[in-house]
Amino acid sequence: MSDFTRVAKTSDIPDPGRKLVEIDERLVVVFHAAGHFYCIDDVCTHDGGPLGEGELDGFAVACPRHGAKFDIRDGRALTMPATKPTMAHEVKLVGDDVLVKLTAE
Ligand code: FES
């Protein structure tokens, strides 16, 4: 079980905005939206599209490949063609630091 990893300063990521980070060889995307930070895998469950490159609308990010939308708050698949959630990870703020703890598989 991994611990929290510092991935950014809060001021590094505009609201709305995102940052692609690698933790333990896993690519994840940290989103800043509506004053909060969220983290999900950079992987669409339809066919592996890079969610970090998708358009963000509120709390929904659209996969740039075929348009499936995911909720950045919990990784839920919101629209076809994705049917399975992508993994969401725990985020906490310590002072000005954004920390992420990977969810165990
Ligand atoms: S790879 Fe994401 S919608 Fe197809």
pTM of the model: 0.96
Q: What is the pLDDT of residues 27-65, one digit of tens each?
A: 999 999 999 999 999 999 999 999 999 999 999 999 999
Report which protein residue has its CA nearest ligand 1's atom 3: 66
Q: What is the pLDDT of residues 57-73, one digit of tens each?
A: 999 999 999 999 999 99
Beta carbons of 18 and 56 less than 8 angstroms apart: yes
Reduced to 3 states (helix: H, G, I; strand: E, B; else coil), residue 79 is coil
Cα(24) to centroid(ligand 1), Å: 24
Counting from 1 in the atom list of ligand 1, the atom nearest the Cα of 48 is 1
Domains along the chain with CATH numbers: 5-101 (2.102.10.10)
End-to-end CA, the chain: 10
